[in-house]
Chain A
Amino acid sequence: MRSVDDLADDERFAAAIAALGAGPVRTRRFLEGFDPVTAWEALAAGRHPGDPDRHYQSKARPALLESVGACCTRNGVAVRLFGRPGYPATLAGDHEAPGVLFTLGDPSVLDTSPRVAIVGTRSATPYGLSVASELGRGLAEAGVVVVSGLARGIDSAAHAGALAVAGGSAPVAVLGTAPDAAVHRAEAQLKQAIAEKGAVLSERAPGSSGTPVWCFAVRNRMLAALAHVVVVVECHRKGGSLNTVKAASDRGVTVAAVPGSVRSSASAGCNALLVDGATPVRDVQDVLAAVELAITGLPGIVPPRTPPRASPDRAAAARAPSPMAARTLRALDHDPASLDTVVRRCALPLADVAEALEQLAAAGLATGSGGWWSRSNR
Chain B
Amino acid sequence: MLASIPSATLHGVDGRAVSVEVHVSGGLPGFTVVGLPDAAVRESRDRVRAALSSSGLEWPRHRITVNLAPSGTRKGGSGLDLPIAVGVLVPDGSLPRACVEDTACIGELGLDGSLRSVPGIVPMVAALRCSRVVVPAECVSDARLVGGHEVRAAASLGGLVHALRGEGPWAEARSVDTERAVLPLIPDLADVRGQTVGRRALEVAAAGGHHLLLVGPPGSGKTMLAHRLPGLLPPLGQDEALEVTRIHSAAGIALVGGALAERPPFRAPHHSATEVSLIGGGTAWLRPGEISLAHGGVLFLDELGEFPAVALDMLRQPLEEGVVRIRRARRAVDLPARFLLVGAMNPCPCGEGSVPGACRCTDAARARYARRLSAPLLDRFDLALSLGRPDVDDLLGGPRGESSASVAERVRFTRVIAATRGVRCNAEIAPESLDEFAPLSPDAAALLERRLRAGALSARGLHRVRRVARTLGDLDGTGELIGARQMVEALHLRDAGCTRPAGSSS
Interface size counted on chain B using CB atoms at 8 A: 41
Residue of B194, B472, B484, B499 near A355 (CB, 8 A) is B484
Q: Is B184 at the interface (CB under 8 A from chain A)? A: no
Give the interface size class of chain A: 35 or more
Assess whether B357 is in contact with A121, with CB atoms less than 8 Å apart.
Answer: yes
In the complex, per-residue mask of A254-276: 1 if CB is within 8 Å of any chain B CB, else 0? 00000000001111000000000
Shortest CB distance A333–B (Å):
12
Assess whether B363 is in contact with A340, with CB atoms less than 8 Å apart.
Answer: no
Query: Given the complex of chains A and B, what is the CA–CA distance between A358 and B489 in angstroms?
Result: 10
Query: Given the complex of chains A and B, what is the CA–CA distance between A186 and B506 in angstroms?
Result: 6
Query: Given the complex of chains A and B, what is the CA–CA distance between A266 and B355 in angstroms?
Result: 10
Q: Is B360 at the interface (CB under 8 A from chain A)? A: yes
In the complex, per-residue mask of B447-487: 1 if CB is within 8 Å of any chain A CB, else 0? 10000000000000000000000001000100000001110
Assess whether A339 is in contact with B391, with CB atoms less than 8 Å apart.
Answer: no
Known: A128-B357, A184-B506, A343-B196. A371 touches B386 (CB 8 A): yes
Query: Given the complex of chains A and B, what is the CA–CA distance between A350 and B358 in angstroms?
Result: 26
Q: Is B268 at the interface (CB under 8 A from chain A)? A: no
Assess whether A350 is in contact with B489, with CB atoms less than 8 Å apart.
Answer: yes
> Which residues of A sit under 8 angstroms from B493, Cβ to Cβ?
350
Assess whether B506 is in contact with A187, with CB atoms less than 8 Å apart.
Answer: yes
> Which residues of A sit under 8 angstroms from B489, Cβ to Cβ?
350-351, 354-355
Q: Which residue of B lies closest to A186 (CB)?
A: B506
Shortest CB distance A193–B (Å):
14
Contact count A vs B, C-beta below 8 Å: 108
Q: Which residue of B lies closest to A341 (CB)?
A: B388
Assess whether B486 is in contact with A344, with CB atoms less than 8 Å apart.
Answer: no
Known: A152-B505, A354-B489. A369 touches B388 (CB 8 A): no
Q: Which residue of B lies closest to A190 (CB)?
A: B506
> Which residues of B sit under 8 angstroms from A128, Cβ to Cβ?
357
Query: Given the complex of chains A and B, what is the CA–CA distance between A374 and B388 in angstroms?
Result: 14
Assess whether B498 is in contact with A370, with CB atoms less than 8 Å apart.
Answer: yes
Query: Given the complex of chains A and B, what is the CA–CA distance between A369 and B215 in angstroms?
Result: 13
Q: Is B488 at the interface (CB under 8 A from chain A)? A: yes
Q: Is A328 at the interface (CB under 8 A from chain B)? A: no
Query: Given the complex of chains A and B, what is the CA–CA distance between A153 and B496 in angstroms?
Result: 20
Residue of B386, B476, B488, B505 near A372 (CB, 8 A) is B386
Query: Given the complex of chains A and B, what is the CA–CA distance between A354 and B204 in angstroms?
Result: 15
In the complex, per-residue mask of A118-140: 1 if CB is within 8 Å of any chain B CB, else 0? 00011111101000000000000
> Which residues of B sit under 8 angstroms from A337, Cβ to Cβ?
388
Query: Given the complex of chains A and B, what is the CA–CA distance between A372 and B355 in angstroms?
Result: 7
Chain B positions 342-387 with a Cβ under 8 Å from a chain A Cβ: 347, 352, 354-360, 363, 385-387
> Which residues of A sit under 8 angstroms from B496, Cβ to Cβ?
370-371
Shortest CB distance B448–A (Å):
12
Q: Is B197 at the interface (CB under 8 A from chain A)? A: yes
Query: Given the complex of chains A and B, what is the CA–CA distance between A344 and B389 in angstroms?
Result: 13
Query: Given the complex of chains A and B, what is the CA–CA distance between A343 and B194 in angstroms?
Result: 10
Assess whether B486 is in contact with A340, with CB atoms less than 8 Å apart.
Answer: no
Q: Is A156 at the interface (CB under 8 A from chain B)? A: yes
> Which residues of B sit under 8 angstroms from A355, Cβ to Cβ?
484-485, 488-489
In the complex, per-residue mask of A337-374: 1 if CB is within 8 Å of any chain B CB, else 0? 11111011000001100110110000000001111101
Assess whether B495 is in contact with A368, with CB atoms less than 8 Å apart.
Answer: yes
> Which residues of B sit under 8 angstroms from A266, Cβ to Cβ?
356-358
Q: Is B200 at the interface (CB under 8 A from chain A)? A: yes
Q: Which residue of A lies closest to B221 (CB)?
A: A340
Q: Identify the interface centre among B196, B215, B498: most chain A CB within 10 Å of its CB.
A: B196
> Which residues of A sit under 8 angstroms from B385, Cβ to Cβ?
339, 371
Shortest CB distance A192–B (Å):
14
Residue of B194, B356, B485, B499 near A340 (CB, 8 A) is B194
Query: Given the complex of chains A and B, what is the CA–CA distance between A370 and B388 in angstroms?
Result: 12
> Which residues of A sit under 8 angstroms from B394, Cβ to Cβ?
344
Assess whether A354 is in contact with B358, with CB atoms less than 8 Å apart.
Answer: no
Q: Is B297 at the interface (CB under 8 A from chain A)? A: no
Assess whether B495 is in contact with A265, with CB atoms less than 8 Å apart.
Answer: no
> Which residues of A sit under 8 angstroms from B200, Cβ to Cβ?
350
Known: A152-B363, A339-B197. A370 touches B492 (CB 8 A): no
Q: Is B296 at the interface (CB under 8 A from chain A)? A: no
Shortest CB distance A189–B (Å):
10
> Which residues of B sit under 8 angstroms from A184, Cβ to Cβ?
506
Shortest CB distance A149–B (Å):
14
Residue of A122, A124, A350, A372 near B196 (CB, 8 A) is A350
Q: Is B198 at the interface (CB under 8 A from chain A)? A: yes
Known: A121-B357, A187-B506. A340 touches B492 (CB 8 A): no
Q: Is B54 at the interface (CB under 8 A from chain A)? A: no
Q: Which residue of A lies closest to B352 (CB)?
A: A265
Known: A122-B363, A344-B391. A370 touches B386 (CB 8 A): yes
Q: Is B491 at the interface (CB under 8 A from chain A)? A: yes
Query: Given the complex of chains A and B, what is the CA–CA distance between A338 and B476 in angstroms?
Result: 24
> Which residues of A sit under 8 angstroms from B94, Cβ to Cβ?
none
In the complex, per-residue mask of B193-211: 1 if CB is within 8 Å of any chain A CB, else 0? 0111110100000000000
Shortest CB distance A120–B (Å):
10
Q: Which residue of B lies closest to A352 (CB)?
A: B485
In the complex, per-residue mask of B67-95: 1 if CB is within 8 Å of any chain A CB, else 0? 00000000000000000000000000000
Q: Is A36 at the interface (CB under 8 A from chain B)? A: no
Q: Is A180 at the interface (CB under 8 A from chain B)? A: no
Q: Is A107 at the interface (CB under 8 A from chain B)? A: no
Assess whether B499 is in contact with A370, with CB atoms less than 8 Å apart.
Answer: yes
> Which residues of B sit under 8 angstroms from A265, Cβ to Cβ?
352, 357-358
Shortest CB distance A230–B (Å):
20
> Which residues of A sit under 8 angstroms from B355, Cβ to Cβ?
336, 372
Shortest CB distance A342–B (Å):
9
A-B contact pairs, 5 of them (CB 8 A): A152-B505, A267-B357, A338-B387, A344-B391, A372-B355
Known pairs A341-B388, A350-B492, A370-B499; list 18 more (Cβ under 8 Å). A123-B356, A128-B357, A234-B357, A236-B360, A264-B357, A266-B356, A336-B355, A337-B388, A340-B197, A340-B388, A344-B194, A344-B394, A350-B493, A351-B476, A354-B491, A357-B492, A368-B495, A370-B496
**Interface residue ranges, A against B (CB under 8 Å):** 121-126, 128, 152, 156, 184, 186-187, 234, 236, 264-267, 336-341, 343-344, 350-351, 354-355, 357-358, 368-372, 374
